[in-house]
Structure 1
Amino acid sequence: MKIKFMEKGDVGKEKLVDDAEEDQNLHQVTAIVCKRPAYGWCGRWMLTAVLLLVVTFLAHLGKFSWNNCGSMADPVKVQELKVSPDPVYLNQNISLTVKSYLDVSVQAPIKVVAKVKRRVMWFWLTVPCMYNLGSCTYYDVCQLTPFPAPDPCPDPFTKLNLPCRCPFEKGWYEVHNLVLNLGAFADIIPSWMESGDYYIHATAYHRGVRLGCYEVTTSID
């Protein structure tokens, strides 16, 4: 649209022509989409909705968030979970703070069902299970530990008084500003998963009984 500065109260011919063309275009959109040309608000509503979708697409989630998708009666009770920086950058250190309580002792097998979605434009698409990453079902995560018994647990597990393998005893599990390097993780994930907005829904079970359910939304750069 052309813009021409004039004296106060004057309306240029070009502006009148351009405004008439815009009104005609809007009328056509209204007639096609709303099927009721007399309802001008419908066309404007549609244009507003499109603008909101564009803004949603351009905006980066950027905000790490988590939520309990189970019940407060579940044995796993997470009270605090923080990750920085936000968004997370691969090949860089991150700081992790977790405060949780396990109100029963749990032994193998521990089943975990994970659902992972990645935002593509304004749609959330399910990430398939590949190389034990993505939307996978782990029938016993206890078998995935790289520290089998009877070898002692390495640092930082011993310093933080955390188990590096099953079983998990009843009690508090806390870490504060633990620094982790994601370099090794970045080496094993596909290149198309190295950045983006992700939604993760994970549920843990022990012999058919739910231990906990948590969902996380995060961004990776």
Structure 2
Amino acid sequence: MQALPLLALALCALQLCPAVLGGKGHQRKRMQVGSFSWQNCGGGQDPAVIRSMSIQPDPINIPGDITVSIAGATSVTMRSPLAGDVVLEKQLGGGSWIKVPCVDNIGTCKYDDLCDILDRAIPPGTPCPEPLRSYGIPCHCPFKAGSYALPTCSFYIPNLDLPSWLTNGNYRFQVVLSNGGYQIACLKLTLSLQSN
């Protein structure tokens, strides 16, 4: 199994990057650990779906250490322009959910090309950051069709300098990846964040 350019894509759910993907014909899957859960939302028709994902701790502490594992596959090459449509909602005290608007590319945002965003975050020619480098996972488009896995690994999330109203609480994300108007993947995540 090849290593996945996943971390670079999957943590967009945390507005750090977009999602990882898995193969055509797989059933919708859902996994829940505490308040963290994930679900492929393409109705089994997308060429890319996640097969497994775990994130610890729950809630995620910012700043703090996070442990992630993820596996998936894609039957198509993901290339530029890789559009991303992110819907971010926060749970209010009474249990209802409100959509977080797109402010400075954080929130409910449309991204014309996530490949370009990756190139700006990690300039081409520079080494991919850890843990991607250790597992031989590329951090630039195109991401070739195939099966991918990021074994359990830990890394540090620095203080993201987000407003306090955005860091503490329960969140729902839906991330849809597409190329040329063709949907490649859809992922829903629910998680909790706690600012230290």
Q: 1:99 — aligned with what?
A: 71
Where 2:45 maps in the other structure, the secondary structure is coil
Normalised by the size of structure 2, how large is the TM-score?
0.76
Per the alignment, residue 164 of structure 2 pairs with 191
RMSD: 1.6
Q: Report the equivalent of 1:123.
A: 96
SS of the residue corresponding to residue 62 of structure 2 reads coil
1:173 aligns with 2:148: yes
For 1:205, the aligned partner's letter is: S
Matches within 5 A, 1:67-146: 67-121=39-93, 122-145=95-118, 146=121
Q: Following the alignment from structure 2 to structure 1, what is the Cα–Cα distance between the partners of residues 131 and 190? A: 26
Contact 2:131 2:155 in 1 (8 A): no
User: How many aligned positions are there?
Assistant: 159
State the 4+ residue runs in structure 1 displaced beyond 4 angstroms: none
CA distance 1:155–1:217, change in 2 (3 Å): closer
User: In the alignment, which of 44, 57, 66 is matched to residue 38 of structure 2?
Assistant: 66
> Is the CA contact (8 Å cut-off) linking 1:69 and 1:214 kept in structure 2?
yes
CA contact (8 A) 2:34 2:58 kept: yes
User: If you compute each CA radius of gyration, which structure gives the higher value, 1 or 2?
Assistant: 1
Check conservation: 1:71, 1:212, Cα contact below 8 A.
no
Do residues 163 (structure 1) and 133 (structure 2) align? no
| TM, length-normalised to structure 1 | 0.68
Higher relative contact order (CA 8 A, sep 6+): 2
Equivalent residue of 1:193, what SS?
helix
Q: Is the 8 A contact 1:110 1:142 kept in 2?
A: yes
Whether the 8 Å contact between 1:76 and 1:211 is mirrored in structure 2 is yes
Greater percentage in helix: 1
| Unmatched segments (≥5 aa) in structure 2 | 1-32
